[in-house]
Amino acid sequence: MAVAKGNNSSPYLAICHKDRYLTEAILDSTQICNLEDRYLLGEQLGWGQFGVIRSCSDKLTGEILACKSIAKDKLVTLEDVRSVKLEIEIMARLSGHPNIVDLKAVFEEEDYVHLVMELCAGGELFHRIDKHGAFSESDAAVLFKQLMEVVMYCHDKGVVHRDLKPENILLATTSKSSPIKLADFGLATYIRP
């Protein structure tokens, strides 16, 4: 399991699984399970420096989620590996807040590390602004208030995001009044008092 310790030393768990044929693991895990045993992968939703994000559905519940697949061959330095481990740890620590994308599970295979998380149907705030233009002052104030509350929550948990931008602020639904969800903790780190 990937375990993150909160400020009060209580553990926040994200179940971490590894493929039974994995020869070189980068994550600590004793759970043996393959991603495709539990989830059906769907269409590609986006991509980043280390991999792709696809929709996926839980075979047990039917829930539609997102799966960030990080290509291990792109993790060329020890710092890259440390960054992925830290992202998982931080997401596990922060999961459960209404304005943070929930991390559901982590799977490690020979070529990929998969992060299964909540799917935000409204997409990126960046695309909403690009498509519909500027927000009204009152709508912007609501979003900004949510953003400040989630940033304060992160800081209270000892985490700084370090990559706040419209591309990393997702909209939970397609509704005009959708709440935001902070995503992509790949550059996040702990605050040292």
CATH classification of the domain holding 86:
3.30.200.20
User: Has residue 3 got a pLDDT over 80?
Assistant: no
Tokens found for residue 171: 């909209």
Residue 105's pLDDT is 92
User: Is 72 marked as binding a ligand?
Assistant: yes
Whether 74 and 51 have beta carbons less than 8 Å apart is answered as yes
Greater confidence, 27 or 150? 150
Domain that holds residue 152: 123-190
Q: Is the pLDDT of residue 193 over 90?
A: no
Is pLDDT above 50 for 122?
Answer: yes
Cα angle value 150/69/127 (rounded, 5°)? 50
25, 75: one domain: yes
Active site residues: 163
What CATH number is attached to the domain comprising 141? 1.10.510.10
Q: Are residues 107 and 127 in the same domain?
A: no
The pLDDT of residue 4 is above 60: no
As a whole number of angstroms, the distance between CA 158 and CA 160 comes to 7
Q: Are residues 38 and 99 in the same domain?
A: yes
pTM: 0.84
Same domain assignment for residues 34 and 9: yes
Inform me whether the pLDDT recorded for 6 exceeds 50.
no
How many domains does the chain contain in total? 2
